[in-house]
Structure 1
Amino acid sequence: MEADKTVETSINIPADTKSKSKGKAPLSISSKTVVEPPPKRGVKKGLAIGDFVLRLCAMGATTGAAVTVGNAQQTLPFFTQFLQFQAQYNDIPTLVFFMIACAIVTGYLVISLPFSVICIIRPLATPPRLLLVIFDAMVAGLTIAAGSATASIIYLAHNGNPNTNWLPFCQQFGDFCQSVSGAVVGCLIAGALLLFILILSAFALKRS
């Protein structure tokens, strides 16, 4: 058998002497890519840290409100042991709803803390922050609803209603009403903190 022969051909293209003589530079095509500046990671991390701190404050407020209402009770001292008037939170359905709502919000805030830590570690991650925004809005509505409903009941307990002959309840049970009033204030503070958390989260998502 004959060995295969490979023929190499080369084409020499003469240089354009006219362009060299006239001093014209060869044309070159260059493409420039615009590099966008990276997102401000430090700003997002600062917002995530603020979110974590506000969650801890809101959790403390709702926990204090739930514990205060659960332990709020008063017995009038000027009756015998066989006939006594006692005020407890479970005597008023609104206070029962208030305590359950505060307990639910506290449990949610405890569960949300790991997600908030994830946002601190990965400040550019959008899914965990978006998930927190959705549930934060629901919990903020529940907190404000519970605080507002209980505030209206406490207002009637302090002032009564002369048009319906409702006597002021807190004239006899002053300590009980004072404890519940403090719990309502704590609940409304927690609602305000949750709204501020929503604003921070929305601002962080907008900058992504």
Structure 2
Amino acid sequence: MKSDQNEIVGGGKDVGAMNKRIAIFDFILRIIAFLNTIGSAIIMGTTNETLPFFTQFIRFRAEYNDLPALTFFVVANAVVSGYLILSLALSFFNILKNNAQNSRVLLIFLDVASLGLLTAGASSAAAIVYLAHEGNNRTNWFAICQQFNSFCERISGSLIGSFIAVALFVLLILLSAIALSRSR
């Protein structure tokens, strides 16, 4: 009789197997998001380019830490990378224990906070990258990407990696919410 109720309600073994698959997928997505955030932080943090001006003694140099928005981007990505490494333990715990609701709720709250930090860092850097590519004539901001080509390519690539991590965080939050709703 009890197994009939489980099949009517949603199949007890099916729900457990699905939650295990969700937990494994969650673990894999966290590893991919970590690689994106740490890669973005490293690429941006090591970006600089020097161009000679008239003589070899006078040079123009572009570094990420010349602009506070890009520094914030590096810090935000590094903090989120640290969180992702620590969250792997909870994610692994969810693989072992299918009905671990408290750890899923904690992951949702921490994932939302990390998503906010990562989005803020990526968005502030996106504004600077846009100005580097396009400039703004009304405020006398000149586009520097014609001169600092390598610098602009690296910061743009770093930004893409960070926005991929933002999308992965949205997916992680949805997966945790689905797993929570299925386990009740």
Using the size of structure 1 for normalisation, the TM-score is 0.81
For residue 128 of structure 2, the aligned residue among 139, 150, 153 is 153
Q: Once the 2 structures are TM-superposed, how far is the Cα of residue 35 of structure 1 from its aligned partner? A: 6.7
SS state of the match for residue 167, structure 2? helix
Q: Say which SS state the counterpart of residue 85 (structure 1) adopts.
A: strand
User: 1:41-78 CA distances to partner (integer Å, 9 max, x unpaired)?
Assistant: 10000000000000000000001100001110000034
Rounded to whole Å, the distance in 2 between the matches of 1:79 and 1:61 is 39
* Percent of pairs with identical residues: 45
Q: Which has the higher helix share?
A: 2
Q: How does 1:14-53 map to 2 (within 5 A)?
A: 36-37=5-6, 38=12, 40-53=15-28
Structure possessing the higher radius of gyration over alpha carbons:
1
State the match for 2:9 in structure 1: none
Equivalent-residue separation in structure 2 for 1:92 and 1:55 (angstroms): 29
Aligned length: 177
Residue aligning to 1:169: 144
| 4+ aligned runs moved over 4 Å, structure 1 | 32-35
Q: Which residue of 2 aligns with 1:75?
A: 50
RMSD over aligned Cα, in angstroms? Answer: 1.6
Unaligned runs of 5+ in 1: 1-31
Q: CA deviation at 1:172?
A: 1.4
Deviations 1:76-110 (A, max 9, x none): 03454432111111111111000000000000000
Greater strand proportion: 2
1:123 CA displacement: 1.2
Structure 2: give runs of 5+ residues left out of the alignment: 7-11
Give distance in 1, aligned partners of 2:2 and 2:97.
28
